[in-house]
Structure 1
Amino acid sequence: METLPIFMKLRNRPCLVVGGGDVASRKVSLLEKAGADITVVAPELHPTLMQWLAEGRIRHFALVFEPSQMDGAAVVIAATDDAEVNHAVSQAAQARNIPVNVVDAPELCTFIVPSIMDRSPLLVAVSSGGAAPVLARMLRTRIETMIPAAYGRLAAFAAEFREAVKRRFSTGQQRRIFWEDVFQGAIGEQVLSGQESSARHAMEQLLAGSGELNHGEVYLVGGGPGDPDLLTFRALRLMQQADVCVYDKLVSKEVMELVRRDAELIYVGKSRDQHTLPQEDINQLLVRLAQEGKRVLRLKGGDPFIFGRGGEEIETLMENGVPFQVVPGITAANGVSSYAGIPLTHRDYAQSCLFTTGHLKDGSVNLDWHALVRPNQTVVIYMGLVGLPEICRQMQAHGASESLPIAIIQQGTTQRQRVVEGTLATLPGLVEHAGLRAPCLIIVGEVVRLREKLAWFAPSPEAVSAG
Structure 2
Amino acid sequence: MRYYPVFLDLEAKTVVIVGGGAEAAQKLRLMAKTPARIVVITPFAERELSTEIDAAGACLISRDFDADDLHGAALVFACGLDEADEALVHAAATERNIQINVVDKQDKCSFLTPSIVDRGSLTIAIGTEGAAPVLGQGIKAHLEAMLPPSIGSLVDKASALRPRVARALDKGSPRRDFWRSFFFGDIRSAFDRDPEAGFEQSVDDALSGDKRETTGSVSLVGAGPGDADLLTLKAQRRLLDADVIVYDRLVGPGVLEYARRDAERIDVGKAPGKLSVSQTRINDILIEHASAGKRVVRLKGGDPYVFGRGGEEQAALVAAGIPVDVVPGITAAVACAAEIRLPLTWRGENRSFTVMTGTAGDGAADHDWAALAKPGAAFSIYMGVRQAGHIQRKLLGAGIAEDTPVVVVENGTRPDQKTAVGTIATLTRTLALGAIKGPAIIYVGLDPARSDVLDAQIETQAAAEERIAS
TM-score when normalising by structure 2 = 0.87
Q: Residue in 1 aligned with 2:41? A: 41
Cα displacement (A) at 1:55: 7.2
Q: Residue in 2 aligned with 1:298? A: 298
2:437 maps to a residue whose letter is R
Q: Secondary structure at the match of 1:33?
A: coil
Structure 1's 20 and 241: CA in aligned 2 closer, same or farther, altered over 3 A? closer
Q: Residue in 2 aligned with 1:323? A: 323
CA distance in 1 between counterparts of 2:454 and 2:434 reads 23
Q: Residue in 1 aligned with 2:403? A: 403
Q: Secondary structure at the match of 1:367?
A: coil
The superposition leaves residues 206-236 of structure 1 with CA deviations (integer Å, 9 ceiling, x where unpaired) of 2233365964222211121111111112222
Q: Residue in 1 aligned with 2:312? A: 312
2:60 maps to a residue whose letter is H
The superposition leaves residues 6-31 of structure 1 with CA deviations (integer Å, 9 ceiling, x where unpaired) of 11122342222222444223222222
Cα displacement (A) at 1:134: 4.2
Contact 1:224 1:332 in 2 (8 A): yes
Matched ranges for 1:6-155 at <5 A: 6-51=6-51, 57-155=57-155
Cα displacement (A) at 1:414: 1.1
Q: Secondary structure at the match of 1:446?
A: coil
CA distance in 1 between counterparts of 2:437 and 2:264 reads 28
Contact 2:29 2:56 in 1 (8 A): no
Q: Residue in 2 aligned with 1:5? A: 5
| 49-58 or 416-425: bigger deviation | 49-58
Cα displacement (A) at 1:308: 1.0
Provide the alpha-carbon RMSD of the alignment.
3.1
Q: Residue in 2 aligned with 1:247? A: 247
Structure 1's 399 and 262: CA in aligned 2 closer, same or farther, altered over 3 A? same
Structure 1's 456 and 122: CA in aligned 2 closer, same or farther, altered over 3 A? farther
Cα displacement (A) at 1:282: 1.9
CA distance in 1 between counterparts of 2:236 and 2:54 reads 45
The superposition leaves residues 41-62 of structure 1 with CA deviations (integer Å, 9 ceiling, x where unpaired) of 3333333444566678222333
CA distance in 2 between counterparts of 1:454 and 1:186 reads 53
CA distance in 1 between counterparts of 2:405 and 2:21 reads 56
The superposition leaves residues 274-320 of structure 1 with CA deviations (integer Å, 9 ceiling, x where unpaired) of 55233223212211121122322212111111111111111111111
Gap runs ≥5 in structure 1: none
Cα displacement (A) at 1:339: 1.9
Contact 2:248 2:268 in 1 (8 A): yes
2:242 maps to a residue whose letter is A
2:354 maps to a residue whose letter is L
The answer to whether 1:350 aligns with 2:375 is: no
| 285-294 or 300-309: bigger deviation | 285-294
Identity %: 38
Contact 1:251 1:299 in 2 (8 A): yes
1:69 maps to a residue whose letter is D
The superposition leaves residues 110-147 of structure 1 with CA deviations (integer Å, 9 ceiling, x where unpaired) of 22222222222222222233344444334433443443
The answer to whether 1:446 aligns with 2:456 is: no
CA distance in 2 between counterparts of 1:289 and 1:60 reads 60
CA distance in 2 between counterparts of 1:371 and 1:380 reads 14
Contact 2:403 2:424 in 1 (8 A): yes
| 382-391 or 405-414: bigger deviation | 405-414
| 50-59 or 433-442: bigger deviation | 50-59
Q: Secondary structure at the match of 2:350?
A: coil
Structure 1's 367 and 123: CA in aligned 2 closer, same or farther, altered over 3 A? same
Structure 1's 71 and 216: CA in aligned 2 closer, same or farther, altered over 3 A? same
Structure 1's 204 and 136: CA in aligned 2 closer, same or farther, altered over 3 A? same
CA distance in 2 between counterparts of 1:449 and 1:43 reads 54
CA distance in 2 between counterparts of 1:322 and 1:289 reads 10
Contact 1:418 1:465 in 2 (8 A): no
Q: Residue in 2 aligned with 1:382? A: 382
- Number of corresponding residues: 463
2:141 maps to a residue whose letter is T
Cα displacement (A) at 1:403: 1.1
CA distance in 2 between counterparts of 1:102 and 1:340 reads 45
CA distance in 1 between counterparts of 2:304 and 2:242 reads 17
CA distance in 2 between counterparts of 1:455 and 1:315 reads 47
